[in-house]
Structure 1
Amino acid sequence: MSGAATATGPLAGLRILDLTAVVMGPYATQTLGDLGADVIKVEPPGGDNLRAVGPMRHPGMGAMALHLNRNKRSIVLDLKQPEGRAACLRLAAGCDALIYNTRPQAMARLGLAYEDVAAVNPRIVYLGAFGYGEEGPYAGQPAYDDLIQGASGVASLFAQQSGGAPRYAPVTLADRAVGLQAAIALLAAVLHARQTGQGQAVEIPMFEALTQFVMGDHLGGASFDPPLGGTGYARLLAEHRRPYATADGHLSVLIYNDKHWRAFFELIGRPELRDSPKFGSHTARAAHIAECYAFVAEVMATR
């Protein structure tokens, strides 16, 4: 394959062999392709499964697949056949990085483990983005976005906030959040390889990565030893933290700092609340955040 001579952007000159499918891996490489990287997308003869998800104007050209695979070159290889594997390794020899999102055991069965790829290109970054860390108790288990949202606690956060049943975020939150982490890690490893001449294998496990994403907000008092309280960020878990119902629809409002609250109290004709023990300072509001959101919800419903 000839080089992407017309590539522009800050990542022009970076070549990535993309063996990923569905959302997480393709989103990582789509992000890098948008920034100018030369991404070579490898698909099996049947194509990426996401191609079948509509809407679509032409068979195999579903909307999500088009979004996730823009700015990429495409090739079909049957990696289960010796010829396909050999062609993949020839491509890898000329790439800065290879990224996959199947389980490592599956790559090994194809004869495309890190040792196989590094034998043809010692400088390559070999990045795997998959369900669970290889040194953790769930190593090798299959994973999808919904399952990782559940395992990492995202689904239970909805239940804590509303008092209802757990539910998944209506976006592919795990795939896309971890996909961005994979893109960042790939760039860091490529920079290291260019500085040292040595490639490496990199692991981006969905469960561990998204759990860190969740705990950054919600570990709370358990961040300390001994703990200074329970887990959970009260502002994010407040029942009324959502678009407010008004007399003629819903409105997204965030009243955050002291200046915002003073202006709000003036607008609603309650200036005396500026000095109240619950609303008078950022610290006070944080300690009574559920009541703050409930108060705003009550006011908004009358306007």
Structure 2
Amino acid sequence: MIEKMVNPKTLSFFLLHLVFVLFVVEVGSAQNLSPNFYKNKCPKMEDIVKRTTASFISRAPSLAAALLRMHFHDCFVRGCDGSVLINSRNGNQAEKDAIPNLSLRGFQVIDAVKSALEKECKGVVSCADILALVARDAVTMINGPSWAVPLGRRDGKVSLASDANNNLPAPFSNFTDLQTSFAAVGLNVKDLAVLSGGHTIGISHCPPFSSRLYNFTGKGDTDPNMDQKYIAELKKNKCTSAGDTTSIVEMDPGSAKIFDTSYYSLVSKRRGLFESDAALLTNSVTKAYVQQQLNPSTATFFEDFADSMVKMGKIGVLTGKAGEIRKICSRIN
């Protein structure tokens, strides 16, 4: 509590300095992560994760996009600490019940992996590490890249819906908002362009982009930054009314279950579903990246995605004695 009035500029400087210090501490903790963290504690861990994840993806490939999104939503809120997995209880509304997270799915995959690992090496592997590994394996299983996941995260003990509502980048964000959100967690403009490419897989309901089709500026108009023929197709065949909340649209029509570079082709043609997709064409760096991926001889998306996922997976991690190793991923011990 602040007992007396302070100069606003002084307070702002103090808060900025505090954020910087906290970020440095988080980055320092991330250096304790290692792909070999469980080599002696649970040597079969990665095999168990991969085998269990495959049992789901082989039957429902669309889960890969859901699991990748879950990892992203976890890391952008309080860091990669598995807090998105926690259920609301005792009057506390957890991240899982925040508005952007109501459409998350695939929690059964994480639970199944955790259950299998508890049988193999009880109380050893964190839910945060499981989520990072499952996201990697799911992407790899649908023809995406693979990467060595740095491990050693511990699980957070706090999960608040308000944090998710306030900190997750929105699908209707402009470039400035996106850049600010990414910079706040230590990611740069290239990471923004690369991680947006995750939209090469997955689906969306209509509400996150329906204003682009029906009421972009509040005057019953369409978004001029979206291909008008595509808008007509969506209005005719998918989101047939402004109030449609049930129809499903593939973010990368025709290959929404295959990890590839076609997302960037869609964005270049102004056919990305979200305003956040269109925003990539409003900045010189991200626009150049989009163009680079259109040519197979210059495309670097797979390698870049692996690098950015490793970088994202280190956001705000808990290591050492911080946090805990949850017995059940959906609740704090």
Q: Which has the larger radius of gyration?
A: 1
Range class of TM-score, shorter chain: under 0.3
Which has the larger strand fraction?
1
Tell me the TM-score normalized by structure 2.
0.25
Tell me the TM-score normalized by structure 1.
0.27
Bigger RCO of structures 1 and 2 (CA < 8 A, at least 6 apart): 2
